[in-house]
Amino acid sequence: MECLRRYLYVATVLVTLLLSTANSYTITVDAHEEQCFFENVEADTKMGLTFEIAEGGFLDIDVTITGPDGAEIYKGERESSGMYTFSAPTSGRYTYCFSNKMSTMTPKVVMFNLEVGDAPHKQTGEKEEAVDHNKLEDMIKELATTLKTVKHEQEYMQRVYYCTNNL
């Protein structure tokens, strides 16, 4: 009976994690324009950005990720595609920006995914069994996050394939 209960718990956690926050977008960034997106997260939350330029000019764009304190976490210039993941060092609003300011007249079509993991749980005075349970839960969450990333990468590649074969 205990094994069945654990199995149901693990299955529930995996399904919940697979349905957690992941946003897919396709946007057009006009020449001389910058578009930004925001996510409010807790410290130590895993975050990720995957993107690809589908149309426009030399298929390049500038990308910036900025933390709540205004510090640049990532900056890429004239990139055609990329994948960047990190753990949020502090709580607050993180900004993802795509800039086409270097282009004189060509808009760019950008396909991208924003992945935001669950905020980490704080442990306070729990028993050893509960700590072991949390370790198992953390491992399951990490596995689910990896599966989510693979799933989103496959969806992304399907969209890229569809776009390139239907032009």
Reported as a single tens digit per residue, the pLDDT across 87-138 is 999 999 999 999 999 998 999 999 998 888 877 766 555 555 556 667 777 7
The CATH number that applies at residue 38 is: 2.60.120.680
The number of distinct structural domains making up the chain is 1
> What is the domain extent for residue 89?
22-119
Q: Residue 18: what pLDDT?
A: 47
Domain annotation covers residue 63: yes
25 vs 23: CA distance, rounded Å: 7
Confidence of residue 8 (pLDDT cuts 50, 70, 90): very low
Which pTM does this prediction carry?
Answer: 0.66
Burial class (CB in 10 A: 0-12, 13-18, 19+), 124: exposed
Is 26 inside any structural domain?
A: yes
Confidence at 139, pLDDT banded by 50, 70, 90: confident
- Asked if residue 86 is part of any domain, the answer here is yes
The tens digit of pLDDT for each residue in 140-150 reads 777 777 777 77
List strand residue ranges (DSSP E) for 18-104, in order.
22-29, 34-41, 46-55, 61-66, 72-79, 81-87, 92-99
Contact 37, 96 (CB under 8 A): yes
Q: In this structure, is residue 159 part of a structural domain?
A: no
The reply to whether 79 falls in a domain is yes
Q: Does 108 fall in a domain?
A: yes
| Structural domain contains residue 55 | yes
The model's confidence at residue 15, banded by pLDDT at 50, 70 and 90, is very low
Q: Is residue 38 part of a domain?
A: yes
- The pLDDT of residue 32 is 95
